[in-house]
Each structure stands twice: as C-alpha cells, then as structure tokens.
C-alpha cells in the first residue's frame, strides 16, 4: 500500500495569502496536488493545523500536526507517526505541477531511510519517501528545539534521485516548481498554459509566420514558438484553449496537426 501525505501547515508568508486554497486555472492549489497523487496513492491524507479551510474537500483524510510549532519537520513527524505501513511519500502542498509518474518513480525507487529528489543542485526534502522508523530520531531532534530540515536529513542520511533519471517523465522538470511567491505563480501559469504540437508541412520561415499568425488570432494565445527542424509548435496561453481550436486554426492554412508532443 502506498501512503502519501500532503503537508499544508505553512503560513504562506512570502506568497502573501493562503497558498493551499489559491485558485490556479479553476482549481485550488491543493486540488492540483491531490489529483496528481490520487492515481498512485492507496491512502492520501493532508497534514496541517487548520482543517476548517478544507471542509469542502470531501473524503480527504485530515491529520492535525502533533506539535503546535511551525516548520516542515513537524509535518514530516506527524505524517510518519500516522503511517500504517513502513514508509510514506511526503509532498509539499505548494507543488501544483507535480506529475503522477514522477511521484510513482520515487516510490518505486525508494532506498532506506530517506529518498528525495535532488534536481539541478537543489534538494527537495518535501518531495520524498521516508521510512517510518525515522520518526523516533526526528522526535528527539524536535524535542531539543531543532528544526532545520537539511541538518536532520544529513544526520540520518538520505539518497538522491537526480534529474537525468526522470527527464523522460517530466522534460520541463515542472514537478519541482514550488509556489513560494507571486513570481513563482507566473512561472506556473506559463507552464500550465504551454502546449506543444507536432505539425507537418512547415518548410520555411513563411510557413512558420503563417502558423504564428493563425494561432495569435485565437483568444488567449500569448506566445508561439516554431521549430521548423523538429516540426513542432509551442503555444503559450493565458486561458484554457481547446486542442481542437489549435488544430483548426493551423489546418485552415493547409498544414497538418499530427497531435501533441
């Protein structure tokens, strides 16, 4: 059984408002994470300090932090104390672009006592699988007034999964974009609105400009990039634009949309 815990006990100070319930493309941030983890998790629970704001999330288990103080380690400790198996996937609530396949990969490639993602020289302790026995040492660490996540991980030891292992699953590495600030939100919205199309028949700059003109005529399209060598068109939108709209706009000019890349 795969147990997964979403940590939602932070105060969102840098973001300026509650990240958990912040609407992104019609869904709250936490709903994006829940939807991504649901296919790979047999048990899915949210760990935090306030269940009232999540009352509308039906059938989602909520676990109150066992310690009143703030900090990611408190959430990790609470999750591990509530596991029913010998390990758990622990993920931060502010990663709305997380992919199911990337979550499954770290579960399948777990090595004791802790396995986390280490992507482009950045370590992600809140996207990792933890052995439940770690909570004993973590309890002692917290009782001594300590709360530095990486200091604790270095103390108990951990394994890294690096980007070269998962690029096929997540070429943009978008699973690792944390929504800490409003600038991060801009990046997330851009990534969410990105569609890459395989198009045949484009052989010259005139073709590229024609395709760009056709796509820019669609409401919501903010950026178009054409790669003639690969026969690919990347479209960035500020609102949801159906695939069929892209297809019709391009094929009206005699080119053929073969599908999404």
Q: What is the pLDDT of residue 13?
A: 78
Q: Which residue numbers in the chain have pLDDT < 70?
A: none
Distance CA(160)–CA(111), nearest Å, equals 9
Does residue 246 sit in the same domain as residue 139? no
The pTM (predicted TM-score) of the whole model is: 0.82
pLDDT digits over 91-128, tens only? 999 999 999 999 999 999 999 999 999 999 999 999 99
Please say whether the beta carbons of 241 and 181 come within 8 A.
Answer: no
Q: Name the residue range of residue 118's domain.
A: 3-185
Question: Both 25 and 77 in a single domain?
Answer: yes
Residues 209, 179: one domain? no
Query: Tokens 């408190």 label which residue?
Result: 74
User: For the CA atoms of 12, 239, 242, 245, what is the dihedral angle to 10 degrees?
Assistant: -160
> Cα dihedral sign for 193, 47, 116, 123?
positive
CATH of the domain at 120: 3.90.550.10
Q: Which of 165, 185, 205 lies at the terminal end of a domain, its last residue?
A: 185
> Residues 6 or more apart from 168 whose CB is under 8 A from it?
none
Q: Which of 119, 150, 185 is the last residue of a domain?
A: 185
H or E stretch covering 166: helix 163-166
Backbone dihedral region for residue 16 (phi beyond 0: left; psi -120 to 50: alpha; all else: beta): left
CA 121 to chain centre: 18
215-232 per-position pLDDT tens digit: 999 998 999 999 999 999
Q: 185, 215, 248 — which closes off a domain?
A: 185
CA nearest to 227, candidates 190, 257, 199: 199
The domain total for the chain is 2
- The number of CA neighbours under 13 Å toward the Cβ of 20 is 21
- CA-CA distance, 196 to 163, in Å (whole number)? 21
- Kindly state whether residues 134 and 231 are assigned to the same domain: no
């Amino acid at each position: 059984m795969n147990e997964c815990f979403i940590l939602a006990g932070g105060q969102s100070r840098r973001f300026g408002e509650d990240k958990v319930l912040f609407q992104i493309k019609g869904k709250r941030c936490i709903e994006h994470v829940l939807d991504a983890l649901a296919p790979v998790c047999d048990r899915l629970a949210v760990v935090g300090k306030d269940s009232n704001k999540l009352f509308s999330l039906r059938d989602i288990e909520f676990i109150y932090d066992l310690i009143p103080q703030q900090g990611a380690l408190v959430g990790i400790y609470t999750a591990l104390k509530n596991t029913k198996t010998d390990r758990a996937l622990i993920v931060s609530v502010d990663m709305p672009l997380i992919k199911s396949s990337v979550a499954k990969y770290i579960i399948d490639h777990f090595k004791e006592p802790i396995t986390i993602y280490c992507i482009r020289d950045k370590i992600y302790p809140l996207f990792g699988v933890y052995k439940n026995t770690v909570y004993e040492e973590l309890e002692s660490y917290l009782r001594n007034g300590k709360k530095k996540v990486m200091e604790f991980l270095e103390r108990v030891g951990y394994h890294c999964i690096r980007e070269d292992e998962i690029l096929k699953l997540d070429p943009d590495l978008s699973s690792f974009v944390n929504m800490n600030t409003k600038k991060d939100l801009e990046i997330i919205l851009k990534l969410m609105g990105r569609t890459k199309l395989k198009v045949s028949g484009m052989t010259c700059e005139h073709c590229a400009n024609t395709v760009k003109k056709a796509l820019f005529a669609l409401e919501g399209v903010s950026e178009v990039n054409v790669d003639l060598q690969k026969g690919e068109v990347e479209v960035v939108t500020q609102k949801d634009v159906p695939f069929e709209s892209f297809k019709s706009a391009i094929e009206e000019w005699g080119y053929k949309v073969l599908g999404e890349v």
